[in-house]
Amino acid sequence: MPDNKEFNSPASEITPQTLFNSRRQFMRLAAATAAVGVLPGMADAKALPKLHYTRNKSLSTSETKTTPYDVTHYTNFYEFDTSKFTPYAYASQLKTRPWTITIDGEVKKRKVVDIDRLIKLAPLEERIYRMRCVEGWAMVIPWLGYPLSKLLKQVQLTSRAKYVEFISLEDPLQMPNQQTDVLQWPYREGLRLDEAMNPLTLLTVGLYGERLPNQNGAPVRVVVPWKYGFKSPKSIVQIRLVEYPTTTSWMLASPTEYGFYANVNPLVDHPRWSQATEQRIGEHGRRDTLLFNGYGKYVEKLYIGMNLVDYF
Ligand code: MTE
Q: What is the CATH number of the domain that holds 59?
A: 3.90.420.10
Q: Rounded to whole angstroms, how far apart are CA atoms 67 and 87?
A: 17
Q: Rounded to whole angstroms, how far apart are CA atoms 310 and 312?
A: 6
3-class state of residue 193 by DSSP: helix
Q: Rounded to whole angstroms, how far apart are CA atoms 76 and 128?
A: 19
Give the Å distance between the CA of 214 and the centre of ligand 1. Answer: 12
Angle (CA) 283 73 80, round 5°: 135
Angle (CA) 141 145 147, round 5°: 110
Residue 68 covered by a domain = yes
Cβ of 235 closer than 6 Å to ligand 1, yes or no, is yes
Domain that holds residue 190: 5-303
Residues 172-193 as b/e (b if ≥16 CB within 10 A, e otherwise) read eebbebbeeebbebbbbbbbbb
Residue 308 covered by a domain = no
Residue 137 covered by a domain = yes
pTM of the model: 0.91
Which residues pair with residue 102 across a beta bridge? 112, 238
Give the Å distance between the CA of 66 and the centre of ligand 1. Answer: 16
The strand pair at 277-280 and 137-147 is best described as: parallel
Each of the 312 residues of the chain gets a pLDDT tens digit; together they read: 644 434 333 334 444 555 555 554 444 444 444 444 568 877 777 788 899 999 999 999 999 999 999 999 999 999 999 999 999 999 999 999 999 999 999 999 999 999 999 998 779 999 999 999 999 999 999 999 999 999 999 999 999 999 999 999 999 999 999 999 999 999 999 999 999 999 999 999 999 999 999 999 999 999 999 999 999 999 999 999 999 999 999 999 999 999 999 999 999 999 999 999 999 999 999 999 999 999 999 999 999 999 999 999
Cβ of 168 closer than 6 Å to ligand 1, yes or no, is yes
Q: How many CB atoms lie within 10 A of CB 297?
A: 8
Give the Å distance between the CA of 235 and the centre of ligand 1. Answer: 10
Cβ of 216 closer than 6 Å to ligand 1, yes or no, is yes
Cβ of 208 closer than 6 Å to ligand 1, yes or no, is no
Residue 130 covered by a domain = yes
Cβ of 230 closer than 6 Å to ligand 1, yes or no, is yes
Q: How many domains are contained in the chain?
A: 1
Give the Å distance between the CA of 234 and the centre of ligand 1. Answer: 6
Residue 229's nearest CA partner among 160, 100, 94, 138 is 138
Residue 250 covered by a domain = yes
Residue 236 covered by a domain = yes
Residue 309 covered by a domain = no
Cα distances (angstroms) measured from residue 250 to each of 23, 37, 182, 239:
31, 36, 10, 18
Give the Å distance between the CA of 232 and the centre of ligand 1. Answer: 6
Residue 310 covered by a domain = no
> Which residues lie closer than 8 Å to 297 by C-beta, 6 or more apart?
none
Angle (CA) 212 213 219, round 5°: 50
